Amino acid sequence: MTEKKKATANLSADRPPLGARAPSGGSVVRAATSVGVNIALFDLDHTLIPIDSDYAWGEFTIQRGWVDPVAFKRQNDAFYAQYQAGTLDVHDYVRFATEAVCKHGATESIAAHADFMRATVQKAIQPQALELVRQHQQAGDVVAIVTATNEFVTRPIAQAFGVDELIAVELERDGSVGGTGWFTGGIRGVPSFREGKVTRVEQWLKMRGLDWEGVQITFYSDSMNDLPLLERANVAVATNPDARLRALARERGWRILDLFS
């Protein structure tokens, strides 16, 4: 067993005390809590998987011949750079990212996504990430994935992790008279992006008769885009963090977890 896998196998003993901040990279004993509901929230892209699933899906549609390769790649790269810089207009991006899916319809798109899972996603899912999720589940924690990627791309990925609770960008459907009932390219409700993740988690808690005061939330993320929810969680874990988040985590004493080499 490698050193990384040995460390991952003891994640339950290496978790910060609930409601506390662990020293960066430190190992601490999990403290008891009187709160009845412990929740583990995971960002998806570059947190649980070492790829951006939305970007990878775009690349897959190029290979599928669904989009013009030069024009799509140029725009997809531009949107990805905006995401990394924290300047992305999520509505513009979702319209762009779902255009091919809207055009090709449900049957063809769902079949294509199954091929995408086999060709790309399954290869990206690593044992240590599955183990981290599993240990939270075995500890009795409620586990959810909270992602800025849309529900069409991410629902099968969440299922591959054995996670039923998914908070993703919800897509508007054509419910007009004579409409197809398929996606329109618009976003339904609040997008789970930046501050919207806090709003969506709050809505998700309320649907379950819970609120922030009645739960202990651990949130894993790689990105500064998730700073609003990292700050709102009881325990923030900078997971495979980008350079800015790594520096901030060290400054604030948040745990840093590198799942991937």
Global confidence as pTM: 0.85
Q: With contact defined as beta carbons under 8 Å apart, do 52 and 80 qualify?
A: yes
Tokens of 79: 């949107």
Reply yes or no on whether the pLDDT at 5 is more than 50: no
Instruction: Mention every residue, 6+ apart, whose C-beta is less than 8 A from residue 63.
Output: none
Instruction: Give catalytic residue positions.
Output: 43, 45
Q: Which residues pair with 165 in a beta bridge?
A: 144
- Residue 30, φ and ψ in degrees, nearest 5: -70, 125
Counting every residue, how long is the chain? 261
Classify residue 46 by its DSSP letter: T
Distance between CA atoms of 37 and 88, rounded to whole angstroms? 34
**What average pLDDT does the chain have?**
88
Distance between CA atoms of 261 and 255, rounded to whole angstroms? 17
Most distant CA pair in the chain, distance: 59
- The Cα-based distances of 67 to 42, 48, 97, 136, 156 in angstroms read 31, 28, 11, 40, 22
pLDDT tens by residue, 209-226: 999 999 999 999 999 999
pLDDT tens by residue, 183-213: 999 999 999 999 999 999 999 999 999 999 9
pLDDT tens by residue, 54-89: 999 999 999 999 999 999 999 988 998 998 888 989
Classify residue 45 by its DSSP letter: B
